[in-house]
Amino acid sequence: MNADDLPTLRDELEAHGLWANKGLGQHFLLDLNITRRIARAAGDIAGKPVIEVGPGPGGLTRALLEAGADPLIVIEKDERFLPLLEPLIEWSGGRLRIVQGDALDADETALAGGKRAAVISNLPYNVGTPLLVKWLKADAWRGDMTLMFQKEVAQRIVAKPGSDAYGRLAVLAQARCECRLEFTVPARAFTPPPKIASAIVRLTDRADPYPDLSALERVTAAAFGQRRKMLRAALRSLTPDAEPLLRAAGIEPTARAEEIDQAGFRRLTDAWRTKA
């Protein structure tokens, strides 16, 4: 099957009188070369379950079906796009399932039917980070993730200690996944163009995921909540006894959050969980 045989996305949008709704973070990729490149970045998905959030007019959806996703479960909040997506069910030989609703409320375990599903999406800007945190916490249903974010968010996910971009999101994402920035996509590639560029991040499960992401969230919220302060002061919102906790974790109480690596945050969170 070849998506080039389908009516173009631009023609489809025009035929249905559809326009982008900024409130829903709608910036579309209408060029199949780009959506195919995103599908390729996800590796071999032929015959594998995939979840895509926010298919919109279906550019990435077409590329994922072409690459053989089976089933491809798409979750779209904006019902205006259903008439553009529905013809893809027959075109894909029934591999596409369309769910209309808010992805933040989706029960992915049920949607994936007990199987592990890859997540591949060009995410809406306004809910990209909460969706990522939801998926990082996910249990057995979640496979590898290949996700498009605003470039700044992508840089915050892959950031290393000592950089300005390093913060909560890097520590949380890297606690569960190996995170790699694959490529950037300029703003002009989207219709309508957003103000800033976007980037694809690939997140694959790490061999030693940190088990208690909620505890890590609490610790990183306190540590980076006042990132310029020394940790002994910044962590006071977490515990009045920050100094012994830091010493137990082998961290200098005068250190700052941005200097602490993944292993350090794991030790600190372990120390806090034991004490709490």
Find the shortest distance in angstroms from Cβ 63 to ligand SAM: 9
DSSP H or E run through 142: strand 142-150
Confirm or reject binding of residue 71 to ligand SAM (CB under 6 A). no
Question: Contact, 159 vs 114, CB < 8 A?
Answer: no
Q: Which of 122, 146, 155, 174 binds ligand SAM (CB under 6 A)?
A: 122
Long-range contacts of residues 270-274, Cβ cutoff 8 Å, at least 24 apart: 271/245, 272/215, 272/218, 272/219, 272/238, 272/239, 272/245, 273/212, 273/215
Find the shortest distance in angstroms from Cβ 209 to ligand SAM: 26
3-state secondary structure of 35: helix
* Interatomic CA distance for residues 255 and 39, integer angstroms: 42
Q: Which is nearer to ligand SAM, 25 or 49 (CB)?
A: 25
Residue whose pair of structure tokens reads 């540590």 in the numeric block: 223
Find the shortest distance in angstroms from Cβ 118 to ligand SAM: 15
At 68, give phi and psi (nearest 5°).
100, 10
Burial of 33: CB neighbours in 10 Å, binned 0-12, 13-18, 19+? exposed
**Total count of residues recorded for the chain:** 276
Q: Give the count of residues interacting with ligand SAM (CB under 6 A).
A: 22
User: What contacts 106, CB < 8 A, 6 or more positions away?
Assistant: 53, 75, 99
Confirm or reject binding of residue 102 to ligand SAM (CB under 6 A). yes
Instruction: Give the count of beta carbons closer than 10 Å to the beta carbon of residue 55.
Output: 25
Find the shortest distance in angstroms from Cβ 115 to ligand SAM: 21
Q: Which of 12, 66, 70, 76 binds ligand SAM (CB under 6 A)?
A: 76
| Window contacting ligand SAM (CB under 6 A); options: 11-19, 69-77, 199-207, 230-238 | 69-77
Find the shortest distance in angstroms from Cβ 173 to ligand SAM: 20
Confirm or reject binding of residue 31 to ligand SAM (CB under 6 A). no
| Window contacting ligand SAM (CB under 6 A); options: 70-78, 83-91, 208-216, 222-230 | 70-78
Confirm or reject binding of residue 60 to ligand SAM (CB under 6 A). yes
Interaction site with ligand SAM (CB under 6 A): 24-29, 53-56, 59-60, 75-78, 102-104, 122, 124, 127
